[in-house]
Homo-oligomer: A and B are copies of this chain.
């Protein structure tokens, strides 16, 4: 699950290519990433669980992770889909003796750069620009949550359309061109993210499939008629 340092070199190079770290020098990077570990996870493997001591944070390198929370009565809710470049759990590093509030589970084989909590407090904290970049990311995620809350009363089809479009926007340019959603998603996962039941999601999506709005091959969703979806979003 955790690989030796030789692969770390490559991982750091990957980090360098992220906008978050673009402005940093090699030396600064090394400092920030002291004690880092590249972490390889299989499908459905977790990197941490809700309630565990938050001893580290990190960055998604490849693949994807779902961040989930389970309600007292066993319902699982997906709070966020983390894609490459996303910083995870950095927000709770400043909180005293914090626990992870969520569980992070790999969706397909994925890689994660794991950084010790001390790094954040000792090396990341004194970099105002870095911290504010992270804060910006947090602010965006928060705005997304707020937007979702705003859509609370919208019909399920609309919520689903919004979700798909916003996921599509995370694709790289060429995939986006082809309407490919950059995530392997099960209907259950979509349902868990929208707070809906699997059946309802299936009904809406198979309806769209029949109408040629989208198609699914092995959990890979391709949107064929983006305009139809956008239209769906503005209905009522």
Known: A125-B128, A149-B79. A154 touches B71 (CB 8 A): yes
Q: Count chain B CB atoms within 10 A of each CB in A135, A138, A141, A153 and give the residue with the most.
A: A135
What is the minimal beta-carbon distance from A192 to any residue of chain B, in angstroms?
Answer: 10
Residues of chain B lying within 8 A (CB to CB) of residue A6: none
Could you tell me which residues of chain A, from 84 to 112, have a CB within 8 Å of some CB in chain B?
A: 91-92, 94-95, 101-102
Q: How far is the CA of A106 from the CA of B49 in the complex (A)?
A: 40
Q: How far is the CA of A48 from the CA of B235 in the complex (A)?
A: 29
Could you tell me which residues of chain A, from 30 to 50, have a CB within 8 Å of some CB in chain B?
A: none
Q: How far is the CA of A126 from the CA of B195 in the complex (A)?
A: 40
- Is B142 in contact with A77, judged by CB distance below 8 angstroms? no
Q: Is A118 an interface residue (CB 8 A)?
A: no
- Is B136 in contact with A138, judged by CB distance below 8 angstroms? no
Residues of chain B lying within 8 A (CB to CB) of residue A101: 143, 146
Q: Is A187 an interface residue (CB 8 A)?
A: no
Q: How far is the CA of A149 from the CA of B150 in the complex (A)?
A: 11
Residues of chain B lying within 8 A (CB to CB) of residue A227: none
Contact of A132 among B94, B142, B152 (CB under 8 A): B94
Contact of A135 among B77, B91, B102 (CB under 8 A): B91
Q: Is A25 an interface residue (CB 8 A)?
A: no
Residues of chain B lying within 8 A (CB to CB) of residue A117: none
Q: How far is the CA of A135 from the CA of B57 in the complex (A)?
A: 15
Q: Is A218 an interface residue (CB 8 A)?
A: no
Residues of chain B lying within 8 A (CB to CB) of residue A91: 135, 138-139, 142
Give the 6 A-B CB pairs with smallest separation, nearest first: A152-B195, A94-B132, A91-B139, A145-B145, A77-B150, A125-B128
- Partner-B contacts on A (CB < 8 A): 69-73, 75, 77, 79, 91-92, 94-95, 101-102, 125-126, 128, 131-136, 138-139, 141-143, 145-154, 195, 234, 236
